[in-house]
Structure 1
Amino acid sequence: MSAPACAFRRDAKVMFKHCDPAELVFFPRFFELMNDLVEEFFDAIGYPFEAFHREGAIPTVQVEAGFPKPSRYGDRLQFSLWIETIGRTSSTIRILTESDGETRMSYRATMVLVGDDGRPKGFPDALRQAMMPYMESEDA
């Protein structure tokens, strides 16, 4: 798998705080890194997470992850995030994490926009439009 050209990209160094005693990234830390990347993505498109939380939230309701190779203390990771689908109230994102040309983690998550009553609500057109440049094309 490779990330499409439309992906939102960030790099990060594996720090001591991410590792277990064997100096491997402890898998729950990858989920923290993924959430950080998702928050950075929404900041970059003009919809910071704190804005969602003033009127509800955008919780993750389903996650799939794979860890084909370990990541170690000091590794440089390249994160690529793109939008797989945008529905009326939910969106599925994909994240590919690589280092030295090898996939270290693949991640797929579905998030639902909810109002302050906890019920799903539709994505505003402006948010949908801000996400569209990161949508995976059909021929990718």
Structure 2
Amino acid sequence: MRYSREELIRFRHCDPAGIVFYPRYLEIVNDTVEDWFEHIGFAFKTMQQRFGAGVPTVNLNIRFASPCRQGDRLQLSLVCNRIGDSSIVLSIRSAQADNPVFEAEVVLCFTSIGERVEKLSIPAEIRHQIQQYLDETVAATA
């Protein structure tokens, strides 16, 4: 199962050469992750309020394939690759008009928020929703 969204490339994304400045892609990756959590019923604010938890990125790998320019519409898709006790691995692929733009793999770790940040086991309610994505992804590739 893939989560999909579209991002309109705006002036704010671009550098003086007229292409997306690469750190903006990292923001787009984070926005996609945040939107996915909201889609599965656990917006970042909800996780903070109900569980005292956040999901910082602990590892990020990204491969760039082609540039985007202002006005392009970037198609993004997210799949869950793995779920551990306190971490999840997500893949995000992007394309513009059938041309790959970038692929990213993101490892997130559930942690407490506040003064002392500590690793947490993924809360059961959230794990259930993420597991559904993982199971459907595995079934779709079998």
The question of a shared fold, defined as TM-score above 0.5 by the shorter chain, is answered with yes
Alignment partner of 2:138: what SS? coil
Alignment partner of 1:63: what SS? strand
Alignment partner, residue 121 of structure 1: 120
Alignment partner, residue 30 of structure 1: 25
User: In 1, Cα distance between the equivalents of 2:112 and 2:9?
Assistant: 35
Alignment partner of 1:40: what SS? helix
User: In 2, Cα distance between the equivalents of 1:78 and 1:102?
Assistant: 10
C-alpha distance after superposition, 1:46-96 (max 9, x if no partner): 111112334132100000001111111111110001101000000000000
Structure 2-normalised TM-score? 0.89
Alpha-carbon shift at residue 13 of structure 1 (Å): 1.2
Alignment partner, residue 98 of structure 1: 95
* Alignment size in residue pairs: 135
Structure 1-normalised TM-score? 0.90
Amino acid at match of 2:94: T
User: In 2, Cα distance between the equivalents of 1:103 and 1:25?
Assistant: 14
Alignment partner, residue 89 of structure 1: 86
Amino acid at match of 1:119: E
C-alpha distance after superposition, 1:17-69 (max 9, x if no partner): 00001110001001111111111111111111112334132100000001111
Range moving further from structure 2, 49-58 or 18-27: 49-58
Runs of 4+ in 1 over 6 A off after TM superposition: none
Amino acid at match of 1:79: L
8 Å contact from structure 1 (residues 56, 118) kept in 2 = no
Amino acid at match of 1:38: V
Q: Percent identity?
A: 30
Alignment partner, residue 61 of structure 1: 58
Give the aligned CA root-mean-square deviation in angstroms. 1.4
Name stretches of at least 5 consecutive residues in structure 1 with no aligned partner. 1-5
User: In 1, Cα distance between the equivalents of 2:36 and 2:48?
Assistant: 16
Alignment partner of 1:47: what SS? coil
Amino acid at match of 2:2: A
User: In 2, Cα distance between the equivalents of 1:69 and 1:42?
Assistant: 27
Name stretches of at least 5 consecutive residues in structure 2 with no aligned partner. none
Alignment partner, residue 3 of structure 1: none
